[in-house]
Structure 1
Amino acid sequence: MHEITLEVVSEDKQKKAVCLSGKGACPPEDCGGVYGYENMKALFLESSGEQVESYREWLGLEEGENWDPTNFDIGEVNDYLKEL
């Protein structure tokens, strides 16, 4: 679920958006919606079987590279928002 809070309304005509906080990795494109994403997160957090390996291949992860569903990089988000 996303929650967006408008903190300030400014007369300044400059467009500027800033993320103040967040949590969790962004769902990958075409991951199966909310339920598919929740299933994928649970698999990565709790196991290392064939399904996880299948998701690793689908995500394009290299050997030894991990996907952490709890990761959130506010700097990366704000860098993206600057580009808008």
Structure 2
Amino acid sequence: MSWKTAIQLRDLDRQDRLELICRKCGHLRYLTAKELLAHKGAAQLYLDEIESRARCTQRGCKGLMRLSMPAQGETSGFVGGIS
């Protein structure tokens, strides 16, 4: 059981961003929960169902997309070394 099968779209904040990456061409796009909720009946969908329905918008591609949630906090590189 994946985290995508446990979370419905309505469980997310409207400002939460979802990252969609095309498995075929690598095109990246971000969507907010608010944009996805604008579609009729989308609030009842689980994230794995949204991922399976998503298609690439690049011209001529129409590949399947991989859905992920980008990290919310700041990230930093490794600071340190061998003593």
Q: Decide which structure has the larger Cα Rg and report it.
A: 1
Structure scoring higher RCO (CA < 8 A, sep ≥ 6) equals: 1
| TM-score normalised by structure 1 residue count | 0.25
- Write 1 or 2 for the structure with the bigger share of helix: 1
**Structure with the largest fraction of strand:** 2
